[in-house]
Amino acid sequence: MGKKVLVLCTGNSCRSIIAEALINANLDGVEAKSSGVRASGKVNPNAKKLLEEKGIWRDEYHSKTLETVITEEFDLVVTVCDHANETCPMFPRPAPKIHVGFEDPDGKGFEAFEATYREIEEILLPKLVEALK
């Protein structure tokens, strides 16, 4: 039986999409989805380019609001937004929650997206494995 993870952030255009792709590409038996409280409606072009370069982009990845996943059951909800001025969403359905914050690369150069990718890979993935035990 697989596990389902929801990755939440504010705009659902960078960090949560990168995390969703990394989880789906690297954690066997775990399906990830992502959404945002104020979904931008688009994937940041640098995030998409990076995931394409890494070979883990899927056409189904897109920026979506919480309402699109609210009826689904998740084994774990992860919030990834970390700025004090951001509103990290809360998932209203009962599910274990963890917070692992990453700086938002939006508006920065491609190197910032690469750094965020590495941080999510090195920090978030091991924490997810632990939390899903």
User: What residues are labeled active site?
Assistant: 9, 81, 88
CA separation for the pair 130, 90 (Å, rounded): 21
Measure CA of the first residue to CA of the last residue in the chain; give whole Å: 13
- With residues binned 3-state (H G I as helix, E B as strand, rest as coil), the percentages for the chain, rounded to 5, are 35, 20, 45
